Amino acid sequence: MRKAMKVIGLLAISLTMTLAGCSQGSNENPGSSPSTNNGSNQTDKAPKDVTLRMSYWAGSQLTVDKNNAVIELFEKAYPHIKIEAEYYAGDAYNDKINVQAASNSLPDIIRVDYAQIKNYVNKGLLTPLDDYISDQTINMEGVAEVNMKGGMIDGVTYGINIGNNALVMFYDPDKLAEAGVNPPGPDYTWEQYEADLRAVKDKLGLYGDTHLAREHFEVWLRQHGQKLYAADQKTLGYEDDQLFVEFMEQQLRWQKEEMISPISVELEIRGLEDGPFPKGESAFGGYSYWSNHADIMETQLGKELGMAMYPGSGDGKGMYMKPSFFHGVWSGSKHPKEAAMFIEFFTNNINAAKSLNAYFGMPYHPNLVQEMQATFSETQKRVSAYLQVVEQHSSEIDPPAPVAGSEVGKIFTNVASEIFYERITPAEGAAKFRTEANAALAKAK
């Protein structure tokens, strides 16, 4: 009997210890445990201490600093709310969100890209925000519909646009002047672009630009009245493979004449500060840069830069305004109201906007736009002017990419690399891309 008691006692102790150890381990976020404990026991007047988690995409230190600055302002304005921020770069960001979603531990505030928001909504990860908008926790009065549309799925708002962006081709005005090239205007054509690349190479011995990216291909298709994905998103949206072939053939031409950087250089690029343009080795910087990268580029090169639309955008069919990111609230968040308050602050508060200086995209709230004009840095004034040009030469953004969008992107990059390493011809590449992309789109739901 005594021995049995000893055994049971030891078992109980080791069991408790193991369980305690396990539950401690699985609770990765120290932040959320105090908030769940303080939880809903009291509903008195004084706001109870709340800790929120947020996650965002950061490819450079500047992004982290800007984000933290806004968090500090918010915490000063609302002392009872603390924000713990996590950030990841590149592909790792979406990977991390997926893992957190699978373990039911998403942050309260999630910064979501346009490419992913539909997928997250379909999986029930985001809370509808319409209630917070109607009771003015998030104040969207007077905001133009076009800025809200991207975040609305089936008529319900799930994400608040944090600022507008557009694809951009940076250029170094000094290098262009040296090469005797006119800076590109809204009516820049592809033929002129090719001639200019040649001029830069001949006169300066520098690269003109890098190869074109998938973003260029999407714009190229739009310029020819096509789309990358069909309306039902089960197949590609363009029938004529000749479009793909032309797109690749012109790059092969440029590659042969060494007017663009070699593909091996581009495959090594890691981060926004890396690459021929930020390092001053090319005159144009198309790559896949967005207008809110202007700050980083100008810091890297230490000078004023020009911003132009992609060639062939004169008729306004190709370019589009893109919400840079959305802020969404996790459907399992214990403090959706506080999360909504932070989103409102980040998007609409004038001090936050001044601190950010349109780093995450151009503000669009009419109140802000007026006030910001006075405080914009030179860089931001230029970005703002550029976005106005784009606004006049753009058409509606394509619907959000389907779930298989990242796979299609990878297939495109792979096929493009094969073409540029001259393993297959553009015609073979066009067929290969179509077959593999359609297969990926057909499989996904």
Partner 1 sequence: MRGVGNKSIWSSDNTAGYLFIFPWLFGFLVFSIIPIGASLFLAFTRYDILSPPEWVGMDNFKAMFTEDSRYWLSVKATLLFVFIAIPLRLVFALIVAMVLNQKLRFLGFFRSAYYLPTLIGGSVAVAVMWRHLFGLNGALNSFLESAFGITDKISWITHPSTALPSLILLSVWQFGSAMLIFLAGLKQVPKELYEASEVDGAGSFQRFKSITLPLLTPVLLFNLIMGIINGFKVFTEGMIVTGGGPFDKTLFYVLYLYEKSFRYYEMGYGSAMAWILLMVIAAFTAIVFTTSRHWVHYESKGD
| Residues making contact with partner 1 (CB under 8 A) | 7, 10-11, 14-15, 17-18, 22, 91, 94-95, 98-99, 101-102, 119, 123-125, 263-265, 267-268, 403-404, 406-407, 410, 413-415, 417-418, 421, 423, 436, 439-440, 443-445
The position carrying tokens 């000893």 is: 6
Distance, CA of 64 to CA of 81 (rounded, Å): 20
Please measure the distance between the N-terminal and C-terminal CA atoms of the chain and give it in whole angstroms.
61
- Do the beta carbons of residue 376 and residue 358 sit within 8 Å? yes
Q: What is the closest distance, in whole angstroms, from the C-beta atom of residue 442 to partner 1 in the complex?
A: 10
CB nearer partner 1, residue 9 or residue 47: 9
The position carrying tokens 């096509």 is: 226
3-state SS record for 286-343: CCCCEHHHHHHHHHHHCCCCEEECCCCCCCCCCECEEECCEEEEECCCCCHHHHHHHH
Q: What is the closest distance, in whole angstroms, from the C-beta atom of residue 188 to partner 1 in the complex?
A: 30
Q: What is the dihedral of CA 437, 439, 440, 442, to 10 degrees?
A: 120
Q: What is the closest distance, in whole angstroms, from the C-beta atom of residue 396 to partner 1 in the complex?
A: 27
CB nearer partner 1, residue 101 or residue 397: 101
CB nearer partner 1, residue 17 or residue 156: 17
Q: What is the closest distance, in whole angstroms, from the C-beta atom of residue 91 to partner 1 in the complex?
A: 7
Q: What is the closest distance, in whole angstroms, from the C-beta atom of residue 10 to partner 1 in the complex?
A: 5
CB nearer partner 1, residue 124 or residue 399: 124
Q: What is the closest distance, in whole angstroms, from the C-beta atom of residue 284 to partner 1 in the complex?
A: 20
CB nearer partner 1, residue 154 or residue 268: 268
CB nearer partner 1, residue 47 or residue 124: 124
Distance, CA of 275 to CA of 281 (rounded, Å): 8
- Do the beta carbons of residue 308 and residue 318 sit within 8 Å? no
CB nearer partner 1, residue 38 or residue 94: 94
CB nearer partner 1, residue 99 or residue 156: 99
The residues pairing with 84 across neighbouring beta strands, listed in sequence order, are 53
Q: What is the closest distance, in whole angstroms, from the C-beta atom of residue 125 to partner 1 in the complex?
A: 7
Question: How many other C-beta atoms lie within 10 A of the C-beta of residue 256?
Answer: 10
Q: What is the closest distance, in whole angstroms, from the C-beta atom of residue 439 to partner 1 in the complex?
A: 7
Q: What is the closest distance, in whole angstroms, from the C-beta atom of residue 216 to partner 1 in the complex?
A: 19
CB nearer partner 1, residue 2 or residue 445: 445
Distance, CA of 111 to CA of 117 (rounded, Å): 10
- Do the beta carbons of residue 331 and residue 323 sit within 8 Å? no
The residues pairing with 83 across neighbouring beta strands, listed in sequence order, are 52
Helix (H, G, I), strand (E, B) or coil at 398: coil
The position carrying tokens 């997928």 is: 119
Q: What is the largest CA-CA distance in the chain?
A: 99
Distances (CA, A) of 388 to 146, 364, 393: 14, 12, 9
Distance, CA of 171 to CA of 209 (rounded, Å): 9
